[in-house]
């Protein structure tokens, strides 16, 4: 008998515990996880019952102190509509109704009066996205036949800030979904599916979801925290806009990244767009991210990679010399230094300081074509970087499969191979970080609705050159800044900077060589040079009235370097 009572007591206790778990879980679901959804539903019923309220996860930028700033969120307001039949039966002049509403919120008069005549239609939408203050003011007019539907929509507080990184929410066919940028790449995390809310939640409660999150296979609903720092992003965008305007260029772009970790603090292109008003853009081409999706011949910023390859293979040292004839002819084609002049016997330092095409082509002859091509591939060219943004393209390095020497020679100074800016930055970062390829990324953390946060991490970095090689080529690039770049004008007394400019001819759209008067200017630099916190990259496409990248980018780079040093309080390193 005692055994039966004991058994019944245990069963009853177990049932009470299970019921308690379910009740607590449901309370957590209602009050924490889906509180905003139910609040939105209540608001939605406040004025007029309409379609399902839009819901979506947030995207945040990360300030230098770790605090978060909203980059993509939801904004509440109203959709204004009318019931033309009720308006007609009210006896109130439609002109008067229009005037009263227009005083509060401007609407199109012709459109309003036309729709007011459609008395067989019970619902005609007038305008969307009216602010809460204006919407409530219209509601207080208490005009029969005027309908206000509580609504929510995607809102980007920063306007154009980081627009190509963020993307936007828009229609794809009949479906409202993330388009471009993070909105697209993490659409499955940011989207909200109310039909599966309860079942998914309880499935997660009673499954080993923490392990699933840690293993990286979980893609439940949540918010996205970016590595993008808003003040750094704004500085980059202002710099690009200023330089693009100054030289009437077709486009410009830039990246500021931590070369040790791959965290991107800023990524921008100009022209850009306002994701709040993406429908006003004349061309969809502005929505893509050219730093990830477009390839360019980068020019002389590739030379440090060629020098590093020669140093790493042991075929040259920083003290090695060669006889500069001013030009070289291979396979019936001639290329020369930027000024066509011969310099006689010069050391490798001058190959970088004076940006000598003949010098890097000499290094290729010492390496051999196949070995040089292997180094270029090892730097990650011709493959995707794995950045967490959609539409990434690999660089085009098919020329390095050629049997002609000329293709390898031109590749050594950044012509004949086309690269994305992001894969270029990743390769150049290896020069300053000790010789490894990092994974560039713009997402720092995913904050899932169930209360588990996942820090984004990546596999161990791949070594591509020796640490000693990284240190030696860095020393050479510091020498470029201290003595050669604008005659040492941007040298800083207390900080070391490594940098190199690049000027590349732009190839003709339909093949057949290069334009004689069109260039892409590129620039990269990292600082402090021997333990860099930042790598800065710029490019500008077809600037007018100026030939060399040293003229367009040196001073903007120096200003950016000073901004970063001051903003992050970087201690001096010399």
Helices 369-378 and 357-367 cross at an angle (nearest 10°) of 100
Find the helix or strand (DSSP H, E) in which 475 lies.
helix 467-479
Q: Is 275 left (phi over 0), alpha (psi -120 to 50) or beta?
A: alpha
pLDDT digits (tens, 9 = 90+) for 101-133: 999 999 999 999 999 999 999 999 999 999 999
Whose tokens are 């590349």? That residue is 504
Q: What is the pLDDT of residue 457?
A: 87
- Tokens of residue 185, six digits: 């790449």
- Mean pLDDT for 475-503 is 97
Cis peptide before 112 (omega within 30 of 0): no
Whose tokens are 């590595």? That residue is 227
- Mean pLDDT for 9-28 is 62
Q: What is the pLDDT of residue 393?
A: 96
pLDDT digits (tens, 9 = 90+) for 508-556: 887 778 998 999 999 999 999 999 999 999 999 999 999 999 999 999 9
- Mean pLDDT for 398-403 is 95
Which residues partner with 70 through β-bridges? 60
Q: What is the pLDDT of residue 47?
A: 45
3-state secondary structure at position 343? coil
Per the CB < 8 A criterion, the answer to whether 401 and 423 are in contact is no
In terms of pTM, does the model score above 0.75? Answer: yes
Separation between Cα atoms, residue 54 and residue 151, nearest integer Å: 7
Kind of pairing, strands 333-336 and 327-330? antiparallel
What angle is formed at CA 42 by the lines to CA 36 and CA 43, rounded to 5 degrees? Answer: 85
- Tokens of residue 356, six digits: 């000598």
- Mean pLDDT for 464-471 is 98
Per the CB < 8 A criterion, the answer to whether 249 and 543 are in contact is yes
Residue 343 pLDDT > 70: yes
Residue 53 pLDDT > 80: no
- Mean pLDDT for 124-143 is 93
22 backbone dihedrals φ, ψ, rounded to 5°: -65, -45
Name the CATH superfamily for 291-531.
DD-peptidase/beta-lactamase superfamily (3.40.710.10)
Q: What is the pLDDT of residue 278?
A: 94
pLDDT digits (tens, 9 = 90+) for 252-288: 999 999 999 999 999 999 999 999 999 999 999 999 9
Whose tokens are 């300081």? That residue is 353
Q: What is the pLDDT of residue 110?
A: 95
Strands (E), 235-312: 251-257, 264-270
Exposed/middle/buried for 562, CB within 10 Å: 0-12, 13-18, 19+? middle
Lowest model confidence (mean pLDDT) among 329-343, 434-448, 501-515: 501-515
Q: What is the pLDDT of residue 291?
A: 98
Tell whether the torsion through CA atoms of 514, 516, 518 and 519 is positive or negative.
positive
Residue 33 carries which DSSP code?
I
Separation between Cα atoms, residue 574 and residue 570, nearest integer Å: 12
Per the CB < 8 A criterion, the answer to whether 537 and 498 are in contact is no
- Mean pLDDT for 459-483 is 95
Separation between Cα atoms, residue 166 and residue 289, nearest integer Å: 10
CB atoms within 10 A of CB 53: 23
Residue 37 pLDDT > 50: no
Separation between Cα atoms, residue 260 and residue 9, nearest integer Å: 61
Share of residues in the chain with pLDDT > 90 (%): 79
Q: Where is pLDDT greater, at 56 or 42?
A: 56
- Mean pLDDT for 159-182 is 93
């Amino acid at each position: 008998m005692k055994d039966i009572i004991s058994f019944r007591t245990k069963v009853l206790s177990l049932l009470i515990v299970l019921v308690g778990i379910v009740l607590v879980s449901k309370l957590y679901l209602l009050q924490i996880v889906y509180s905003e959804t139910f609040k939105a539903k209540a608001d939605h019923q406040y004025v007029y019952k309409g379609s399902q309220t839009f819901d979506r996860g947030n995207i945040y930028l990360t300030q230098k102190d770790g605090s978060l700033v909203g980059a993509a969120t939801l904004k509440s307001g109203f959709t204004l509509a009318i019931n033309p039949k009720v308006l007609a039966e009210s006896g109130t002049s439609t002109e008067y109704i229009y005037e009263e509403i227009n005083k509060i919120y401007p609407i199109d008069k012709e459109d309003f009066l036309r729709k007011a005549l459609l008395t067989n239609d019970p619902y005609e939408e007038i305008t969307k996205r009216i602010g809460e203050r204006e919407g409530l003011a219209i509601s207080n007019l208490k005009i029969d036949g005027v309908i206000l539907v509580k609504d929510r929509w995607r809102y980007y507080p920063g306007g154009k800030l980081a627009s190509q990184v963020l993307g936007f929410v828009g229609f794809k066919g009949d479906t409202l979904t993330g388009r471009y940028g993070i909105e697209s790449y993490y659409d499955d995390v940011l989207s909200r599916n109310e039909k599966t809310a309860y079942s998914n939640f309880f499935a997660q409660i009673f499954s080993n979801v923490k392990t699933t999150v840690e293993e990286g296979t979980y893609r439940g609903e949540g918010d996205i925290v970016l590595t993008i720092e808003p003040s750094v992003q704004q500085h980059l965008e202002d710099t690009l806009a200023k330089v693009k305007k100054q030289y009437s260029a077709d486009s410009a772009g830039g990246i500021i990244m931590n070369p040790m970790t791959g965290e991107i603090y800023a990524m921008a292109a100009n022209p850009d767009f306002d994701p709040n008003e993406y429908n006003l853009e004349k061309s969809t081409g502005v929505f893509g991210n050219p730093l990830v999706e477009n390839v360019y011949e980068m020019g002389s910023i590739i030379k440090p990679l060629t020098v590093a390859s020669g140093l790493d293979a042991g075929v040259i040292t920083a003290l090695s010399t060669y006889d500069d004839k001013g030009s070289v002819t291979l396979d019936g084609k001639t290329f020369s230094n930027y000024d066509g002049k011969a310099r006689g016997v010069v050391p490798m330092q001058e190959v970088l300081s004076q940006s000598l095409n003949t010098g890097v082509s000499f290094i290729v002859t010492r390496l051999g074509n196949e070995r040089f091509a292997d180094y270029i591939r090892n730097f990650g060219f011709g493959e995707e970087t794995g950045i967490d943004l959609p539409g990434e393209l690999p660089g085009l390095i098919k020329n390095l499969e050629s049997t002609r020497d000329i293709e390898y020679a031109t590749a050594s100074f950044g012509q004949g191979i086309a690269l994305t800016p992001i894969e270029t930055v990743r390769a150049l970062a290896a020069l300053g970080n000790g010789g490894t390829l990092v994974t560039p990324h713009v997402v720092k953390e995913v904050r899932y609705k169930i209360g588990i946060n996942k820090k984004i991490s990546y596999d161990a970095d791949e070594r591509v050159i020796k640490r000693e090689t990284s240190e030696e080529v860095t020393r050479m690039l510091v020498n470029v800044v201290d003595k050669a770049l604008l005659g040492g004008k941007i040298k800083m007394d207390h900080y070391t900077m490594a940098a190199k400019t690049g000027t590349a001819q732009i190839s003709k759209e339909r093949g057949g060589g290069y334009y004689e008067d069109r260039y892409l200017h590129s620039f990269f630099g990292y600082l402090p040079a021997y333990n860099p916190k930042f790598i800065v990259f710029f490019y500008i496409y077809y600037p007018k009235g100026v030939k060399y990248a040293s003229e367009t980018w040196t001073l903007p780079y120096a200003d950016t370097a000073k901004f970063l040093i001051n903003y992050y309080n970087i201690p001096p390193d010399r």
